[in-house]
Structure 1
Amino acid sequence: MPRSDHGFSKQKRITSGQTITRVLRGGGCAADDCLVVFVMPRPAASSSGPQRRLGVTIPKKTGNAVVRNRWKRLIREAFRTQQSELPPNVELVVRPKKGAVPQWAKIRRSLPRLTRRALGRAAG
């Protein structure tokens, strides 16, 4: 069975706090009533094709552990299933908007749109 590009391997994750801080401080930002997305362009990857990396930050004020983990799962799944709709060679840091409720349809709709908007702000 051919392998799909819809995985969420370690190469697609931002795990370093330094990298997350760099994207938060130096990237473009866009928000709606559900998510806040920070985007920073990254140098084009070598022969591995376009790379998109995701970091998720969920403040403790968002809710208890169950709610925070639900946010993380939904954001990661939206990223995983919509990678082809996202701009290539970007690093994303996503966090929920204060007071928002984790809803799959809203997250799925917001992520690609906010990513493109934030990337435009980072470039210009």
Structure 2
Amino acid sequence: MKKEYRIKKNDDFSLVFKHGTSVANRQFVLYVLNKKEQDHFRLGLSVSKRIGNAVTRVRVKRLIREVFRELEDDIISSNDYVVIARKPTADMDFWEVKKSLTHVFKRAKVYIKS
């Protein structure tokens, strides 16, 4: 994922947590902050040590990034997104992650594909 598509700084995470809205299901919590002046979305990931060892956490992050890459034309692009992975994600494959994130996108009303 390109550098301009990532949220890395703690201040940026705090801004999304403080001023954004959140939607959750069993596997993910999605925070969304609308930034009209932005041309593209930015993504921040939080995968805690409770999910599993380093290999598992990196795998979960990779799956989430791939879902965002696949669905980037189907979600509102002027937002900042922070995804927090919950425990069940450790055992999920790509299609389950995609289905779960799509469900969260629809609940957050950021999914523009019908």
The verdict on a shared fold, with TM-score over 0.5 as the criterion, is yes
DSSP-derived class of the 1:84 partner? coil
Unaligned runs of 5+ in 2: none
- Partner of residue 44, structure 1: 37
What amino acid maps onto 1:102 in structure 2?
M
- Give deviations 1:51-83, integer Å, cap 9, x for gaps: 111010111111110110111100011111110
Let me know the Cα RMSD of the aligned residues: 1.8
Which one-letter code corresponds to 2:7 in the other structure?
I
Q: CA deviation at 1:14?
A: 0.7
Q: Percent identity?
A: 30
Larger radius of gyration: 1
TM-score, normalised by the number of residues in structure 2: 0.84
Q: Which residue is 1:20 aligned to? A: 13
Unmatched 5+ stretches in structure 1: 1-7
Aligned-partner Cα distance in 2 for 1:28–1:56: 16
Distance in 2 of aligned mates of 1:24 and 1:93: 8
* Contact 1:29/1:36 (<8 A) preserved: yes
Whether the 8 Å contact between 1:70 and 1:102 is mirrored in structure 2 is: no
Partners of 1:54 and 1:94 within 8 A in 2: yes
Contact 1:35 1:107 in 2 (8 A): no
1:10 is matched with 3
- Scaled by the length of structure 1, the TM-score of the pair is 0.77
Give the alignment partner of residue 35 of structure 1, picking from 4, 23, 28: 28
The SS at the match of 1:43 is coil
The answer to whether structure 1 residue 102 and structure 2 residue 95 are counterparts is: no
What is the deviation of 1:119? 5.2
